[in-house]
């Protein structure tokens, strides 16, 4: 028989290393309790965080290097906390120190794991993560965290944030700028925060810029939130030039330097269009117009090149050669953009590589930094017009730009120069989605005919979702979608427009029978006419950041109910008509002698609901639910 001691020998190995430091002081415990009240949902607060940045020059003198030292005092403000402390690095950066100390300054030897950072969007990338599991046994327990990290090249060191994964009570950022370095520290989103700034000169003659912020909340965990660059105060480190041995060396002084570097990577590529010449010929041979040729090429790439990304060193910035992407039938955004460009070129068009920061990034090209963009598309210059082609958009029609790139600046290649332009924004109308249903009561069942239509991005979204299913499952998937997976809703005789065509309005016609939405009591009929209940759960009671939709939407629903013979309507719900900066909603109930018509129109004209609108929006949702919870009463006439 095994004894417990044997059984547990293996389990207890870890414990010796987790030698405890000392208990928290009473003051610490009181502070933790206070902070917990303030930051209700957080386990840990960072009492002090200092982020120190200094610069150097690489041995060969060709690069400006960065040293970033972070010191933090972490406190458990909940009963107990078990967290993972982690830090990323990659081929351009190195972690030299990553450790924790107890309150009494003795080293806490938590085991540090070092592994690849896995991202479901990236098939392979060279980013790695060091992490350790840290436990705080009681409230008020603290650790001191030390991180020393260095960067080989200042261009990869782009920004400094005040907020963190946990609330930070005192945040200090200090940047020591040597005389030989010309760097701009550009501030973003500082307004509304009391960030103190200070400038001193240290013993090495460096100018030290110090910023301090108190009580910075943790990064919000909202979904569909704007990118961090919009929400949180931060500093972009724009290293413009440095002087060595009396000679000034340009870094990214302005966007021309950024372009120059991008161009140097593009010049390293050796495209070989002969690999896809036959395919281009095949795609253009029967085309009756230039537009058709362009579409055939663009759509072929969307349909046939799978998104598989390798972010491996310079491959994170340099596009893969077009012949490789063509032969492999996969690539990332850069690879797809380049393939579209080269195929269009082979067909005789003027197409260019184009850098862009998606909507997720707030900057424009006045910011000479790698942080400015994160995506690449292809621009077609045709008869004086620009067409933006994004190979990663599946089912994106020519001329329709996805919300995520609309209104954003682009940097288009133009030999040694470049063109800065802006992607036009669309109105809501182009994405219009409609739902129309005519119902009659048949023995406590609602029966009728229904039509749904989609356009623009609503169409692309539908087609993308639908075409991800295997062909034998497509029919079921469509049924489930139309019936909302609700057993009460039976869908039949579905007729669709071409579910591969991304250009025309998409249309679904079907018959529907809905059970359990009609009840009879004492000779009166009660009808739950509004069983779709669009947006009923869509409130922002706990949300802290703007809600961003996938696209600007315009949804129109129309439900018509025939009044059964011999009945009259006693009461209809009241109409609602609300407009905010970001939305217009109109819900109307009208009655004709034979019918009741309920129309609902939701328009999100900016593709967003701003936090400033939340109070009004939440009030509206409450009213909306009051309507949804009302029944139409039909009594004998």
Name the residues that contact other proteins, by CB under 8 A. Answer: 1-5, 7-8, 11-12, 14-15, 18, 23, 78-82, 115-116, 118, 123-124, 135, 137-139, 303-304, 306, 308, 310, 327-330, 467-473, 476, 487-488, 515-516, 519-522, 526, 528, 537, 570-571, 625-626, 629-631, 633
Provide the minimum distance between the beta carbon of 28 and other proteins in the complex, in angstroms, as a whole number. Answer: 13
What is the distance between the alpha carbons of residues 265 and 339, in angstroms, rounded to a whole number?
16
Would you say 410 and 422 are in contact if contact means Cβ atoms under 8 Å apart?
yes
Provide the minimum distance between the beta carbon of 573 and other proteins in the complex, in angstroms, as a whole number. Answer: 9
What are the b/e assignments for 486-515, b being 16+ CB within 10 Å? eeebbbeeeeeeeeeebeeebebebebebe
Gyration radius of the chain over CA positions: 30
Would you say 411 and 474 are in contact if contact means Cβ atoms under 8 Å apart?
no
Provide the minimum distance between the beta carbon of 633 and other proteins in the complex, in angstroms, as a whole number. Answer: 5
Would you say 398 and 295 are in contact if contact means Cβ atoms under 8 Å apart?
yes
Which residue's CB is nearer to other proteins, number 366 or number 629?
Answer: 629
Provide the minimum distance between the beta carbon of 43 and other proteins in the complex, in angstroms, as a whole number. Answer: 9
Which residue's CB is nearer to other proteins, number 8 or number 201?
Answer: 8
Which residue's CB is nearer to other proteins, number 115 or number 223?
Answer: 115
What is the distance between the alpha carbons of residues 255 and 371, in angstroms, rounded to a whole number?
12
CA atoms within 13 A on the CB side of 392: 17
What is the distance between the alpha carbons of residues 609 and 67, in angstroms, rounded to a whole number?
40
What is the distance between the alpha carbons of residues 336 and 307, in angstroms, rounded to a whole number?
8
Provide the minimum distance between the beta carbon of 312 and other proteins in the complex, in angstroms, as a whole number. Answer: 8
Which residue's CB is nearer to other proteins, number 3 or number 194?
Answer: 3
Provide the minimum distance between the beta carbon of 12 and other proteins in the complex, in angstroms, as a whole number. Answer: 6
Query: Which of 228, 218, 233 lies closest to 186 in space, CA to CA?
Result: 233
What 3-state DSSP class applies to 447?
A: strand
Tally of CB atoms within 10 A around 62: 10
Which residue's CB is nearer to other proteins, number 300 or number 388?
Answer: 300
Provide the minimum distance between the beta carbon of 304 and other proteins in the complex, in angstroms, as a whole number. Answer: 7
What are the b/e assignments for 154-187, b being 16+ CB within 10 Å? bbebbebbbbbebbbbebbbbbbbbebbbbbbee
Provide the minimum distance between the beta carbon of 391 and other proteins in the complex, in angstroms, as a whole number. Answer: 15
Provide the minimum distance between the beta carbon of 630 and other proteins in the complex, in angstroms, as a whole number. Answer: 5
Which residue's CB is nearer to other proteins, number 30 or number 62?
Answer: 30
Pairing of strands 524-527, 506-514: unpaired
Which residue's CB is nearer to other proteins, number 88 or number 469?
Answer: 469
Provide the minimum distance between the beta carbon of 444 and other proteins in the complex, in angstroms, as a whole number. Answer: 10
Cα 156 from chain centroid (whole Å): 21
Cα 597 from chain centroid (whole Å): 38
Which residue's CB is nearer to other proteins, number 138 or number 440?
Answer: 138
Which residue's CB is nearer to other proteins, number 192 or number 470?
Answer: 470
Would you say 558 and 599 are in contact if contact means Cβ atoms under 8 Å apart?
yes
Which residue's CB is nearer to other proteins, number 581 or number 622?
Answer: 622
Would you say 367 and 408 are in contact if contact means Cβ atoms under 8 Å apart?
no
Provide the minimum distance between the beta carbon of 475 and other proteins in the complex, in angstroms, as a whole number. Answer: 9
Helix (H) or strand (E) holding 170: strand 168-177
CA trace torsion 43, 163, 224, 427 (10° rounding): 160
Which residue's CB is nearer to other proteins, number 230 or number 526?
Answer: 526
What is the distance between the alpha carbons of residues 585 and 605, in angstroms, rounded to a whole number?
11
Which residue's CB is nearer to other proteins, number 183 or number 632?
Answer: 632
Tally of CB atoms within 10 A around 441: 20
Provide the minimum distance between the beta carbon of 303 and other proteins in the complex, in angstroms, as a whole number. Answer: 8
Which residue's CB is nearer to other proteins, number 329 or number 422?
Answer: 329
Provide the minimum distance between the beta carbon of 109 and other proteins in the complex, in angstroms, as a whole number. Answer: 12
Apex 97 CA angle, 312 and 48, nearest 5:
110
């Amino acid at each position: 028989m095994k004894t417990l001691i044997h059984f547990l020998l293996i389990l207890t190995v870890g414990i010796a290393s987790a030698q405890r430091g000392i208990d928290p002081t009473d003051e610490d415990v009181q502070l933790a309790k206070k902070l917990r009240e303030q930051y209700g949902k957080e386990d840990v607060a960072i009492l002090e965080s200092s982020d120190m940045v200094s610069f150097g020059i690489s041995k060969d003198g060709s690069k400006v290097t960065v040293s970033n030292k972070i010191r933090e005092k972490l406190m458990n403000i909940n009963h107990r906390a078990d967290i993972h402390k982690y830090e990323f690095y990659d081929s351009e950066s190195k972690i030299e120190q990553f450790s924790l100390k107890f309150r009494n300054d003795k080293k806490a030897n938590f085991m540090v794991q070092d592994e690849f950072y896995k991202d479901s969007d990236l098939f392979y990338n060279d980013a790695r993560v060091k992490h350790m599991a840290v436990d705080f046994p009681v409230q008020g327990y603290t650790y001191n965290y030390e991180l020393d990290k260095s960067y080989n090249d200042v261009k990869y060191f782009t920004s400094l944030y005040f907020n963190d994964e946990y609330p930070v009570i005192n945040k200090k950022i200090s940047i020591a700028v040597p005389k030989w370095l010309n760097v701009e520290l550009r501030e973003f989103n500082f307004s509304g925060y009391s960030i103190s700034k200070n400038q001193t000169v240290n013993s090495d003659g460096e100018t030290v810029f110090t910023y301090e912020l108190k009580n910075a909340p943790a990064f919000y965990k909202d979904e569909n939130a704007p990118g961090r660059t919009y929400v949180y105060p931060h500093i972009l480190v724009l290293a413009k030039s440095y002087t060595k041995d009396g000679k000034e060396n340009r870094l990214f002084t302005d966007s021309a330097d950024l372009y120059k570097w991008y161009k140097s990577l593009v010049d390293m590529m050796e495209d070989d269009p002969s690999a896809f010449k036959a395919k281009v010929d095949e795609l253009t041979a029967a085309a009756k117009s230039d537009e058709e040729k362009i579409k055939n090429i663009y759509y072929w790439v969307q349909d046939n090149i799978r998104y598989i990304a390798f972010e491996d060193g310079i491959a994170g910035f340099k596009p893969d050669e077009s012949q490789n992407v063509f032969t492999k039938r996969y690539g990332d955004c850069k690879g797809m953009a380049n393939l579209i460009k080269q195929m269009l070129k082979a067909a005789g068009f003027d197409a260019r590589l184009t850098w862009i920061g998606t909507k997720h990034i707030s900057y424009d090209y006045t910011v000479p930094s790698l942080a400015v963009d994160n995506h690449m598309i292809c621009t077609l210059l045709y008869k004086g017009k620009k067409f933006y082609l994004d190979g990663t958009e599946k089912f994106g029609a020519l001329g329709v730009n996805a919300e995520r790139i609309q209104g954003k600046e682009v940097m288009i290649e133009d030999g040694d120069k470049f063109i800065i332009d802006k992607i036009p924004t669309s109105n809501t109308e182009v994405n219009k989605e409609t739902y129309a249903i005519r119902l009659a009561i048949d023995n406590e069942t609602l029966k009728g005919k229904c039509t749904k239509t989609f356009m623009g991005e609503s169409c692309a979204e539908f087609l993308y979702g639908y075409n991800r299913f295997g062909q034998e499952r497509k029919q079921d998937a469509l049924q489930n979608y139309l019936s909302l997976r609700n057993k009460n809703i039976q869908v039949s005789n579905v007729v669709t427009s071409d579910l591969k065509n991304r250009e025309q309005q998409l249309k679904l016609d079907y018959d529907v029978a809905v059970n359990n939405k009609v009840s009879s009591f004492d000779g009166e009929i009660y009808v739950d006419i509004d069983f779709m209940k669009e947006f009923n759960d869509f409130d922002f009671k706990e949300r802290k950041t703007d809600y961003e939709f996938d696209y600007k939407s315009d949804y129109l629903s129309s439900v018509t109910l025939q009044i059964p013979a011999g009945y009259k309507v006693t009461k209809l719900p009241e109409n609602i008509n609300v407009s905010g900066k970001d939305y217009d909603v109109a819900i109307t109930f009208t009655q004709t002698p034979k019918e009741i018509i309920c129309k609902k129109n939701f328009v999100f004209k900016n593709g967003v609901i701003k936090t400033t609108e939340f109070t009004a929006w939440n009030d509206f949702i409450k009213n909306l639910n009051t309507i949804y919870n009302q029944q139409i009463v039909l009594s004998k006439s």
